[in-house]
Amino acid sequence: MFSLYNLNILSDKQALSGLPEGKLLINTINAHSYNVAQEDALFAEALQNGDVLTPDGASIVHACRYLHTPSQPRERVAGWDVFIYEMTALEKRAEATNTHPVVFFMGSSPDVLQRITERAALDFPYLKIVTYSPPYKPEFTTDEDAAIVRAINSAHPDLLWIGMTAPKQEKWTYTHWQQLDIHCHVGTIGAVFDFYAGTAKRAPLWWQRHSLEWLYRLIKEPRRMWRRYIIGNALFIRNVLREKSENGCRNTNAG
């Protein structure tokens, strides 16, 4: 069973400043990905074996507290938080050294990537943006995978963002990790591509601060999100209770 007890989850946003330089895989976990990982062994492996895992949801923070897991995150650290922190930090270093590091965006549609490029030119003028839009399909062929890897390696990125839906983005990055000849932070950030491009809207701050961003998305897109949030939230509670029960049994047997 995929278990929160076995995960090393980042504590808070401030901890982002302490991440080491070099090749580093940053994933996020929320209630939905926790549920999916119960049934998807490769996805579970990708989340467990990445370098950094951030708590992208108040539900994960509360569940860790309830379960008394070794990792005790104190606040939500969303993919958006990782994105803004990394982009801003790289921009500041580039400005200080008058350099133009490469930021590579892999995923999404050409239209979204064009919007990202245009906005980033205003927000982060020292950063050179390179993009790649993969075929829109559930799985890539061997040749398509190889083409993506070649494009990334040829760009020699200083920061790499992978933006496909979970669990596809995490599994693809984890599976091809050894083929990526890069020396930078890599973030699997999904919907952040659309948020930054302006093709999707994040919940207003009030909803975010009160841990209701999921409800905002449900209200905005009920047909697409009802299964994820109504059924998914109930499934998340069931899975957490099962973890609580199984861990209690293990502790009893150990004693």
How much is the pTM?
Answer: 0.93
Once rounded to an integer, what is the mean pLDDT over residues 203-226?
Answer: 84
Instruction: Decide which of 131 and 226 is more confident.
Output: 131
60 or 190, higher pLDDT? 60
CA 162 → CA 105, 171, 174, 189, distances in Å? 6, 11, 11, 6
- Predicted confidence (pLDDT) at residue 203 exceeds the cutoff of 70: yes
Question: CA distances (Å), 40 to each of 1, 36, 83, in order?
Answer: 10, 6, 26
Range of weakest confidence among 65-69, 181-185, 247-251: 247-251
Percent with pLDDT over 70 in the chain: 97
**Span 204-218, mean pLDDT?**
83
According to the model, what pLDDT value does residue 253 have? 53
Calculate the alpha carbon distances from 209 to 123, 152, 189, 212, 213 in Å: 24, 36, 20, 8, 8
pLDDT at 255 over 60: no
pLDDT at position 250: 55
Which stretches of the chain are assigned E, i.e. beta strand?
24-29, 52-55, 102-107, 128-132, 159-163, 185-188
